[in-house]
A and B are shown apart, each in its own frame.
Chain A
Amino acid sequence: MARVRERDVAAFESIYDGYHRLVHGIALKMLQDAMAAEDLTQAVFLKVWSSPEAFDSGNFGAWIARVTRNRSLDMLRSRALRVESDISADIPLEGSLDDMVFATLDAESVRTALASLPDDQRKPIELGFFGGVTHEEIARRTATPLGTVKTRIRAGLRKLRLQLETSVVG
């Protein structure tokens, strides 16, 4: 990314090659529209090119996944319940060693780790990320008390972290 800041096209191209399937996949899953997903992919990467300083440190893949998710939510914003995402994005992550190690993860290991979670933890997490709905909406859709949804999301994310750490260590 340092080279992208210096307007290095080859550096940008290698980042594009590495992450376009991730960006496109998130956009497609959330927007359910092939053309819109392509347009959103273009918008996300042009943003990477035009304001590379928006990414400061940590895991680039995690960052671009979040940016794509938030841009997709912007597009879907017409829905009644708007989820606040920008506020959490405002708090810079402390670049922990783990997050750097996570940068080596691929989609397959994340899928495997997610699949290892119990359904009642995995579903609310996926709904929260891809559905862009609030925990209240998740509680309603899954017919679960709000407090239970919160507890399950927390337990699920903690377990996911453990699983991913294990898969990195091998």
Chain B
Amino acid sequence: MNRHDDAFSESIAVFALGALPESEASAVAAHVRTCAECRAEYDDLRGVADLVGYQAESSRSELDELAAARMKLRIMRVVRADAEAPAPAGIPTVERVAASKRPWFAYGLAAAAVLVAAFVSVDDVGLRSHDASQTQNVATANDRAAQLAAASAAAETQRRSLERELALVVAPGSKHFAVPRGEVIESNGRLVIALTGVAAPPNGKTYQAWTLARGAKSVAPSITFAPDASGRAVVELPESAAGIAAVAVSVEPAGGSKAPTSKADFVRALT
């Protein structure tokens, strides 16, 4: 332990708050690491300083239920997709991506891994790169590439389509239109329907999407779909978003219908 220096005492609280300029912070940090007296003061005040953030917690008026639900849906969709990707144990997604110098598809990383990397910068607190473990990560990623190469063509197609849908859903500039249990997303000229808590359609039935062109008198048939085992459905419509005024979903006989035969689950105007 180094000798205590009173010159630092007055700066510890400001440092704990995170309001010291860089030029002074390095010296204070070095002193705090080696002086027991200042270390105790820092420990006392740092935890309190962080709690100041609690003051800003959003009330219901600042973050209404609808916005909260939309935000949660966006985040949970990425997290669930990432959790379902068969990731090598113990290696955080971001590090796998950070470790890869080759194009991501060389490793066959799951769609969500790429998405997460786009949102989470690798220079963040606690994400200092570890050279030794990176080498190992690359090796593991190569194993994973071999596994994926052996995967069935169907799984690969599904993966690519999920990746594309997720990319659209979270793309910057995408517009989100809330519907019961989810949303319709307009992104890069494409339309995606994203729903959770969807019951499996009755036997012999399917969900079908419909589009209403601007100025049209009736809806046009779009893609049919079913939720996955956990009740989620994320589907990209084959139609371009251009000129589409509304999107609807109804339950139809398997194979789909040319015109709706049941009341729509929802009709959502894209405005």
A positions within 8 Å CB-CB of B: 7, 9, 12-13, 16, 20-22, 24-26, 28-30, 34, 38, 41-43, 45-47, 49-55, 58-59, 61-63, 65-71, 74, 81-91, 93-94, 96, 98-99, 102, 105-107, 110-111, 114, 125-130, 132-136, 138, 147, 149-151, 153-154, 157-158, 160-161, 164
A130→B124 CA distance, assembly (Å): 19
Q: Which of A9, A86, A90 meets B83, CB within 8 Å?
A: A9
Separation in Å of the B113 CB from the closest CB of chain A? Answer: 9
A-B contact count (CB 8 A): 246
A59→B125 CA distance, assembly (Å): 16
- Measured between beta carbons, the chain A residues less than 8 angstroms from B42 are 91
The 5 closest A-B pairs by CB, nearest first: A54-B126, A65-B53, A128-B19, A154-B13, A62-B50
A67→B127 CA distance, assembly (Å): 12
B119 in contact with A46 (CB, 8 Å): yes
Q: Which of A50, A65, A68 meets B92, CB within 8 Å?
A: A50
When C-beta atoms are compared, the residue in chain A nearest to B173 turns out to be A35
Q: Which of B82-124 touch A at CB < 8 Å?
A: 82-83, 87, 92-95, 116, 119-121, 124
A50 in contact with B116 (CB, 8 Å): yes
- Measured between beta carbons, the chain B residues less than 8 angstroms from A99 are 47
A125-B17, A154-B12 given; 18 more Cβ-contact pairs under 8 Å: A13-B76, A16-B72, A21-B63, A30-B56, A42-B75, A46-B79, A46-B116, A47-B119, A69-B53, A83-B18, A83-B20, A90-B29, A98-B47, A105-B54, A138-B19, A157-B49, A160-B48, A161-B44
A57→B45 CA distance, assembly (Å): 17
Separation in Å of the B77 CB from the closest CB of chain A? Answer: 11
B53 in contact with A84 (CB, 8 Å): no
A50 in contact with B120 (CB, 8 Å): yes
- Measured between beta carbons, the chain A residues less than 8 angstroms from B72 are 16, 20
